[in-house]
Amino acid sequence: METLMSGNEKILAFLYALGEGLDFKSMKNFAALSENFSSEIKKVDVVKPSVFNFCVETPKKILLYNTLYNSMVKLTPEEFLMLQGKNHCEKDLRQKFLESGIFIAAEIDERKNYQLWRQEAQKRNEHLSVNITTTLKCNARCPYCYEHGVKHVDFDETKIDALINFIKQHKKNSPVKLNWFGGEPFLNPKIIDAVTKKLGELGFEFDSFAITNGTLITRRLIEGKFKKWNMRGVQITLDGTAEQYEKRKGYVDGQRQVFKKILNRIEWLAEANIHVDLRLNIDRENMKDILDLIYVLQARFDENKNVVYYPAFVTGLKDKLSDAEKISFIKEIFRALANPSKMSITDRLYSFPRSLPCMRNDPQAFSVDAYGRVYNCEHLVGRKEMALGTLKRLSQKDNQARLNEPLREECASCAFLPKCMSGCASNLRTGDSACMIERYMIQAYMEFMCE
Ligand code: SF4
Ligand code: SF4
């Protein structure tokens, strides 16, 4: 067995501690167990393969990744048979499997213990995250926009005090995370000015992030307002290279050479140490062009650590890509990339297990629409009937109920649960797969490594 990534020993120790009935209030047991983990684990008698093992087997290589402990190993065919219990497992290999979480003590119910850990993690939730729709107006006309049919209005300024009170009520100990979105959020910067100024006057720490098409970003904005707004990062969507991008975005304000300008703006942001996530929107029509885009981005941003990209499959279309097509296409992206870390694959492989899929089950995360209505999902803004409540009136009972959503059957037995936690409910509404991008990226990366 060749270890490519060692497992996260703390997570493993925690699962064992839970198996022994660890009392969360006295973390002493856990500390002791974590310290002596390697020797403790030698005492394990009967073992079984972890339910979070995910394996890619090709005639050339066998790779196994554990989605809960983040261990990745390369196995010989003989070792793979031993793992499956088809051949007797040697003592040394058994110990290595145990240390990386690939084998687990037979009496441990990993899924149950993971669920206990999730509940505890949720109780310790110390953040507040608020998505704020500064406007529903936009200078682009993307065909896939989920806000189709929504009225193009700005955030109601008479609701700013209610928004500040809402933040006051829900704020915990860590800085408030403000996510500015729209429409195009920078079409209405005065809302960002007003909210951040008031929070500053109250002495509240906050960080800003924005989901933007990038067209309205100027050097002056970056050097002036972005500093006042504590702007840490932006997400910009790219749909292809110049021609494809401009055709799909359909900008209505007659801007020319927008693609070229966006690339310049990404560079300015990165120079100002603002993290830029480039979301590559993919469907059957632009796949070839996305590969060309990868080469363009590589030539321009390969050395720039503040710029990373990730694939996102467009939803709500009739001609949907199958899971196999998605994985095969991500593999093509990996082949095209000189540096796979640009696709943030390392972060996804090493990420801490999720306790929640996304904001929808997090009672400390909200999306606020232009009318001051509050939602549990950013894709619902402007749809009154789907609101949880308003900035002034939000039932705590309804809000806390967000935590209790049961897992769908296919998720309850899925090896990717720690990376996905049952995925995106909004995608299910459009008849798309709920699985988070990690599910596709990790498999594609492992298959790529096996080539
Ligand atoms: S349900 Fe989907 S769209 Fe809504 S917040 Fe979660 S991941 Fe985002
Ligand atoms: S949504 Fe998909 S990847 Fe996520 S847990 Fe469910 S089946 Fe697994």
Q: Where are the alpha helices (DSSP H) in 22-181?
A: 28-35, 37-42, 77-83, 91-99, 110-123, 160-170
pLDDT confidence of residue 10: 81
Q: For residue 23, give the H/E element and its range.
A: none
Q: Where are the domains positioned within the chain? A: 2-122
- 435, 440, 442, best to mutate for ligand 2 pocket (most atoms within 8 Å of CB): 435
pLDDT confidence of residue 79: 97
Atom of ligand 1 nearest to the CA of 427: 2
pLDDT confidence of residue 239: 93
Ligand 2 binding residues, C-beta < 6 A? 410-411, 414, 416-417, 420, 422-423, 434-436, 439
- 310, 424, 436, 439, best to mutate for ligand 1 pocket (most atoms within 8 Å of CB): 424
Mean pLDDT by 10 residues, the chain (451 residues): 90 76 52 68 87 96 97 97 94 93 91 87 88 93 75 94 97 95 95 98 97 96 97 96 90 85 97 97 96 96 94 93 97 92 91 92 96 94 90 93 91 96 93 96 97 93
pLDDT confidence of residue 50: 96
pLDDT confidence of residue 26: 47
Q: How far is the CA of 360 from the centre of ligand 1 (A)?
A: 6
Q: How far is the CA of 434 from the centre of ligand 2 (A)?
A: 7
Q: Which ligand is nearest to the CA of 366?
A: 1
Cβ neighbours around 289 below 10 Å, total: 18
pLDDT confidence of residue 29: 56
Q: Which ligand is nearest to the CA of 357?
A: 1
Q: How far is the CA of 182 from the centre of ligand 2 (A)?
A: 28
- Summarize pLDDT for 123-159 with one digit per residue, the tens: 888 899 999 999 999 888 887 776 677 788 999 999 9
Cβ within 8 Å of residue 96, ≥6 positions away: 1, 3
Q: How far is the CA of 194 from the centre of ligand 1 (A)?
A: 27
Provide the phi-psi class of 70: left if phi over 0, else alpha when psi is between -120 and 50, else beta.
left
Work out whether strand 206-212 and strand 176-181 pair parallel, antiparallel, or are unpaired.
Answer: parallel
Q: How far is the CA of 440 from the centre of ligand 2 (A)?
A: 10
